[in-house]
Amino acid sequence: MVAVVRCRPDEFERLKFNMRLGTRHGYEATLEVTRAREEWTSGGGLTLVLDPSEFSERISYLGWTSISSRKWSGDLDRVVEVSRMEPVEPVVLYKDVLARLSRRQVSRLADQGPQTKATGEALVAALAELRPDLRGSIDEIGGISRRLPISGSAAGQVIALQRDASIAAVRMAGMLGRSHFARWDRPRAALADNDVPPTFLEGVPQEQEVGED
């Protein structure tokens, strides 16, 4: 899934503040925004974060969006969290990316929130074509989920939270490229909502096991 988050001015200021604090204190910054449920029917995807520039919207960050059915704000809204954020420097004008899409693709582009599979892939391809230097960030943010898919059950989401926290820790330590997380063995049976989930780290090979390969 590929999504678009259009930040309001106050949200973007909060994002920049969170990023500064994260850099200063050595933790991964996140941004939580409240959006209409009808716009955000799903989460778990590469996200283009747009800042509300006075002249033209700009892609200032790439990140990963997640939502929780147990986390909401009001009857019609839900809380969307953006994590794994990577700055886009220099920023990219959103209109320049859209200019590389076909008319049909633009017509199917959602103003905000998750995009259809085809439209999302076209959007990312256009961004990568315009800025080849961003391919590394795109692959890193999205690649984690492709290597470590987890079911959407309540028990599976518990493991997903553990996964994201563990990955954030190794990213801050500069060890993601050497991490053994990509060799994680997922549970053999599907997890139901009422299952007691195993810990994420139980499925990660132990250091001595890796050394024997």
Q: Given this model, what pLDDT does residue 87 score?
A: 92
> 3-class SS at 11?
helix
- Render pLDDT for 41-51 as a digit per residue (tens, 0 to 9): 776 688 999 99
| Residue appearing with tokens 């910054």 | 29
115 and 153 within one domain: no
Q: Given this model, what pLDDT does residue 211 score?
A: 45
What sign has the CA pseudo-torsion 194, 156, 39, 22?
positive
126 and 154 within one domain: no
154 and 58 within one domain: no
Q: CA-CA distance, 206 to 79, in Å (whole number)?
A: 36
Is residue 105 in a domain?
yes
Q: CA-CA distance, 135 to 69, in Å (whole number)?
A: 31
- Render pLDDT for 73-97 as a digit per residue (tens, 0 to 9): 556 678 888 888 899 999 999 999 9
162 and 120 within one domain: no
The half-sphere exposure of 106 on its side-chain side, counting CA atoms within 13 A, is 10
Q: Within its chain, how far is the Cα of 125 from the centroid?
A: 17
Is residue 143 in a domain?
no
> 3-class SS at 67?
strand
Q: Given this model, what pLDDT does residue 121 score?
A: 92
- The domain boundary residue, chosen from 134, 159, 188: 134
My answer on whether omega of the bond before 90 falls inside 30° of 0, hence cis, is: yes
Domain count, the chain: 2
Is residue 20 in a domain?
yes
Which of the residues in the chain have pLDDT under 50? 70, 147-148, 178, 208-213
Q: CA-CA distance, 6 to 28, in Å (whole number)?
A: 21
80 and 33 within one domain: yes
- The domain boundary residue, chosen from 84, 99, 134: 134
Domain coverage including residue 183: 148-204
Beta bridge partners of 45: 65
Give kind and range of the element (H or E) at residue 97.
helix 94-98
Q: Given this model, what pLDDT does residue 178 score?
A: 45
Inter-residue contact 41 to 116 (CB < 8 Å): no
